[in-house]
A and B are shown apart, each in its own frame.
Chain A
Amino acid sequence: MSAVDQLARPVNPFRIKLSGGILLLPILAFLFIFFIYPLFSMLAISAFDRSGALTFDFYRQALGGRTWSIFLNTLSISLWVTLFTVLLSYPVAYYLATSKGRSTNLILIIVLLPFWTSALVRAFAWMLLLGRNGVINSTMVNLGITEVPADLLFNLFSVLIGMVHALMPIAVLSMLATMQNIDRNLHSAAATLGAEPGDTFWRVFFPISFPGVASAALVTFIVSMGIFVQPSLLGSPRETMVAQLIIQQIDELYNWGLAAAVSVMVLVLSVIIILIFDKLLGIASISGTQQAGGASGKAMRSITAALGTATVAVSRAIRRALPQRKVKEGAFRWVLAVPTLLIVLFLAAPTFFLVPVSFTGSSFMEWPPRGFSLQWYEAYFTSPVWREATVRSIIVALVTATASLAIGVPAAFALTRSKFKGKAIVLPYILLPIVAPNIIVALSLFYYFSSIGLVGTDIGLVIGHTVFAVPYVVLTMIATLSIYDQRLDQAAWTLGATPLTTFRLITLPMIKVGFVTSFLFAFVRSFDEVTVALFISPGLSTTLPKRMWTEAHHSVEPTLAAVSTILIIMVILVITASELLKRRGLGR
């Protein structure tokens, strides 16, 4: 409730001593040993020519005409993706945070659907939905809405659709982790003080939820910058992004020097962006000082106040225009529910498409599915390779998620709760694995791991995945912790609780959602990772995404749709089962 309160807080000396160094040490050391050192050893090749002499040629090439325009392309596409992702995710997260009942569980499951299907399969699903004779176009033509099929595919539009769809689950969950902790009573408090719903939202709810929005926007932006599946499968040459360029240099042109130079530029650019972001929107700083930092904070307050006034004015105007019919109480919820439903439909579309396709009798993923057959499920269930890959991926992902929480959560505590020198640089350092091009990280880990005997081991794979997963954990936990009112802890201390008891009984229950969300992010990051898996994981055993990826390169058979369906059913079963058990347990 007092998260809106902008007063400076008294600092507990015990915590400062504990947090700064010790809490950050594990993650800083882990990332240095398993990411920074191998990565920069690899990137050094960008500064040397084949004979080993120092050269800036690769950088000169990297700054040349086409590469430069691909950089601009990447930035502008990422900006659009971030804008749409945040705009579309906010209402869904708000709905989930403020609604009760069974529908929220269902919506949450649907929001998370894209997580459980390989990026490649999802991109193919969009290709079939948006195509010339695809589901959307043929429906529109049949209904007589258009006469000629529209060009929905292979342009900026389809790239944005694919990328926004891929990133929305992350954004929704980041926001939800923050919103879940916003006290419901604030609404009532504002109402008793005479605020109308629009005003309450903009002046009270929105500012408190802002750390979630900021972290969602940051994650979306930097993840977008490294994406290559969607632009290469759904875009035209105009939508070429920098990750495609790097892969082409490595796989087709064998120019590692240029690939490394471009990667260095990506890293530098990303660090600058993260620092600007932190300065403007305050990721670490919000929490560090508990102030919506300086000038931008003031600007934001006046913007939200203006928006609040505007919303109130509009709703009053509507009410005046409909004088005889009194606008019902529930109207505000409907205004929210309808767009939420549409957005959720968008999130579910590729899955709703894949499920029927998995029962097709044809050997292609196509619409409408031909006949009915269980052959693609048979192909999965009769193949020990598929089953083994599934189990292995689940185990690797569980271990990765646990490890990521173990080193990520303490770091988030340190970043939100204490001030120390160089704090501004810690955040980009931790987020670097998200922005570093996957193929470069995979190659550098391969070289490094082979020197210490970790190639071909499961532990090597888990380490590689943890490098990628831990930034998501830190960012989510920061967003959760930054609106956590520390005075609750202080209250517990004054009542005689030890720091540990306080953590267990007060802090932990309040940040549970953040924990679960972080765990899920880390799990999924590992569960869908293919590049590092291809280089590092043991040769004789495979992982699910590896299997799906190589399979999809040969032919996009409906087996892939069947595997996706099986995964979704498994997830729904697990969620439902734990939910049922929880209810029974509570009703005891």
Chain B
Amino acid sequence: MIMLKSTRRTFVKTLAGTAAAIAMPAVWTGARGQENRLTVGDTGGVATQAYTEGFYKPYFEQTGIEVIPVERRESPVAEVRAIVETGTYRYDFCEGIGHDVAATLEEGGFLEELDLSGETEDIPDNMKSSTFIGSNVVAFILAYRTEKFSQPLTHADVWNPEQFPGRRGLRQNARDTLQFALVADGVAPAEVSNVLADEAGWGRAFAKLDEIKSHIDVWWTSAAQTPTFLQTGELDICPTFNSRAQSVIDSGSPVGITWDGGFFMNYGWCIPKGSPKADMARDFIKYCSSPQGQAIACERMASGPCNPKALDFIEPERARILPTHPDNIANMALTDFRFWGPRQEEATNRFNEWLMA
């Protein structure tokens, strides 16, 4: 028992032992070639799995270049700016960047030009720019609990609590919620930025929001909350991203999606300016426009492939629930981020003031 004399020492030993026991199988990382490796800023979760299967693994098999995901912040603007300004490249390029975010970064001069030849030509023009190529599309749609309503809901129905009673939530976000309100007021999605071109349009949007404010039970801030709201019935009506709603539907819950009146956003690739492996990353990004890869990745994420040809590689039944399916995208519009970009701050301040009043 002399060994057990010092309790502090035994405590540390126990701790170290526990740590070592878990550490054993994890020693696989470490020494590995630097030249044949690309690191990608990635937000984790299902996206990592989907991209690994759709792109990283097949690319490795084809070229011997390994693409390794590195966690990045969900909102990457501050991070990419800091990376470029300091020249400290935590990762070589980014995955899952919103087209709107890429436009902001492009404006600041923080992105590399991309190679827009080959299969990238299949990507529609509104899903790419000189510094950004979309790989998948996510839509901001209306989701609701189907067992509570006898018919599919429209945006306008959300504003009719007498006829369609139920708990309602809206996103605590100026852009998405103002767009939603104008669609509910009868504006076609593609016309929203025209309506907001003058003060009368803003007045109209806020007047519409005034009508429903007292009926909103939850102003959600994090999209990760919304599947839980729909799953547990915390909310009966909740506009959210289609992939979030789909995860609840896939688990067997009675949830429906209304595509008409929705807005979509492209998510894709970009390279921080000055990235030392920019050329390698450009080649990889070009590869990622292939329809087969996009089909595999998008099917898993319930998002729409940017390359329209990819839909041919997806089971028709599954393709039906993706945003870029012709039936779904027909009455949606791309969020006009070039319109919103310079107005974002003012819109947000005004919206937040309205919300807190």
Question: A residues near B, CB below 8 A?
Answer: 65-66, 69, 124, 127-128, 131-134, 153-154, 232-233, 236-238, 240, 244, 248, 250-256, 362-367, 384, 387-388, 390-391, 394-395, 398, 439, 443, 446-447, 450-451, 455-456, 534-535, 539-542, 546-547, 550-556, 570, 573-574, 577-578, 581-582, 584-585, 588
Residue of A nearest to B2 (CB): A588
Q: Which of A456, A540, A553 contacts B43 (CB 8 A)?
A: A553
Residue of A nearest to B41 (CB): A539
Contact between chains at A555 and B251 (CB < 8 Å): no
Contact between chains at A554 and B43 (CB < 8 Å): yes
Among B216-224, B284-292, B313-321, B326-334, the one that faces the other chain is B216-224
Contact between chains at A391 and B19 (CB < 8 Å): yes
Residue of A nearest to B23 (CB): A391
13 contacting pairs across A/B (C-beta < 8 A): A237-B356, A254-B78, A384-B26, A398-B15, A446-B88, A540-B39, A540-B68, A547-B71, A550-B74, A555-B227, A574-B18, A577-B14, A578-B10
Contacts of A450 in B (CB 8 A): 82, 86-88
Does B232 reach chain A (CB closer than 8 Å)?
yes
Query: What is the CA–CA distance of A534 and B78 in the complex, to the nearest angstrom?
Result: 12
Among B126-134, B157-165, B304-312, B342-350, the one that faces the other chain is B342-350
Contact between chains at B232 and A133 (CB < 8 Å): yes
Contacts of A250 in B (CB 8 A): 78
Does B187 reach chain A (CB closer than 8 Å)?
no
Contacts of B18 in A (CB 8 A): 570, 573-574
Query: What is the CA–CA distance of A154 and B25 in the complex, to the nearest angstrom?
Result: 43
Query: What is the CA–CA distance of A219 and B232 in the complex, to the nearest angstrom?
Result: 36
Given that A232-B222, A553-B44 are known contacts, is A581 also in contact with B75, CB under 8 Å in the complex? no
Contact between chains at B43 and A578 (CB < 8 Å): no
Q: Which of B77, B82, B85, B234 contacts A251 (CB 8 A)?
A: B77
Contact between chains at A252 and B222 (CB < 8 Å): no
Contact between chains at B43 and A550 (CB < 8 Å): yes
Contacts of A256 in B (CB 8 A): 78
Does B353 reach chain A (CB closer than 8 Å)?
yes
Contact between chains at A443 and B78 (CB < 8 Å): yes
Query: What is the CA–CA distance of A581 and B17 in the complex, to the nearest angstrom?
Result: 14
Query: What is the CA–CA distance of A553 and B26 in the complex, to the nearest angstrom?
Result: 25
Query: What is the CA–CA distance of A570 and B14 in the complex, to the nearest angstrom?
Result: 11
Question: Secondary structure at chain A's binding surface: helix, strand, loop or mixed?
Answer: helix
Contact between chains at A553 and B7 (CB < 8 Å): no
Given that A131-B232, A387-B25, A395-B19 are known contacts, is A248 also in contact with B82, CB under 8 Å in the complex? no
Shortest beta-carbon contacts, A-B, top 9: A554-B45, A550-B44, A251-B75, A450-B86, A450-B88, A388-B26, A578-B11, A539-B70, A585-B4
Contact between chains at A240 and B4 (CB < 8 Å): no
Contact between chains at B29 and A133 (CB < 8 Å): no
A533 → chain B closest CB, angstroms: 9
Given that A251-B77, A387-B22 are known contacts, is A552 also in contact with B29, CB under 8 Å in the complex? no
Does B90 reach chain A (CB closer than 8 Å)?
yes
Given that A133-B232, A577-B14 are known contacts, is A447 also in contact with B86, CB under 8 Å in the complex? yes
Contacts of B77 in A (CB 8 A): 251, 254
Contact between chains at B7 and A582 (CB < 8 Å): yes
Residue of B nearest to A61 (CB): B349
Q: Which of A65, A134, A237, A585 contacts B10 (CB 8 A)?
A: A585
A62 → chain B closest CB, angstroms: 12
Does B172 reach chain A (CB closer than 8 Å)?
yes
Contacts of A384 in B (CB 8 A): 25-26, 28-29
Q: Which of B68, B232, B345, B356 contacts A255 (CB 8 A)?
A: B345
Contact between chains at B7 and A363 (CB < 8 Å): no
Does B57 reach chain A (CB closer than 8 Å)?
no
Contact between chains at A132 and B233 (CB < 8 Å): yes
Contact between chains at A364 and B227 (CB < 8 Å): yes
Given that A127-B225, A456-B88, A581-B10 are known contacts, is A133 also in contact with B44, CB under 8 Å in the complex? no
Residue of B nearest to A534 (CB): B73
Given that A251-B75, A364-B227, A540-B68 are known contacts, is A578 also in contact with B221, CB under 8 Å in the complex? no
Query: What is the CA–CA distance of A394 and B82 in the complex, to the nearest angstrom?
Result: 28
Residue of B nearest to A367 (CB): B232
Contacts of A127 in B (CB 8 A): 225, 228, 234
Does B355 reach chain A (CB closer than 8 Å)?
yes
Residue of A nearest to B73 (CB): A534
Q: Which of B43, B79, B232, B251 contacts A363 (CB 8 A)?
A: B251
Q: Which of B1, B219, B228, B348 contacts A252 (CB 8 A)?
A: B348
Contact between chains at B228 and A553 (CB < 8 Å): no
Residue of B nearest to A451 (CB): B86
Query: What is the CA–CA distance of A510 and B135 in the complex, to the nearest angstrom?
Result: 63
Query: What is the CA–CA distance of A256 and B108 in the complex, to the nearest angstrom?
Result: 14
Q: Which of B1, B22, B74 contacts A553 (CB 8 A)?
A: B74
Interface-central residue, A450, A573, A584, by most chain B CB under 10 Å: A450
Does B190 reach chain A (CB closer than 8 Å)?
no
Contacts of A255 in B (CB 8 A): 345
Query: What is the CA–CA distance of A253 and B72 in the complex, to the nearest angstrom?
Result: 18
Residue of A nearest to B79 (CB): A535
Contact between chains at A391 and B22 (CB < 8 Å): yes
Query: What is the CA–CA distance of A388 and B28 in the complex, to the nearest angstrom?
Result: 10
Query: What is the CA–CA distance of A578 and B4 in the complex, to the nearest angstrom?
Result: 10
Query: What is the CA–CA distance of A544 and B23 in the complex, to the nearest angstrom?
Result: 13
Residue of A nearest to B231 (CB): A364
Does B212 reach chain A (CB closer than 8 Å)?
no
B307 → chain A closest CB, angstroms: 23
Contact between chains at A237 and B172 (CB < 8 Å): yes
Q: Which of B82, B222, B227, B355 contacts A233 (CB 8 A)?
A: B222
Interface-central residue, A363, A450, A456, A539, by most chain B CB under 10 Å: A539
Contact between chains at A546 and B71 (CB < 8 Å): yes
Query: What is the CA–CA distance of A215 and B143 in the complex, to the nearest angstrom?
Result: 48
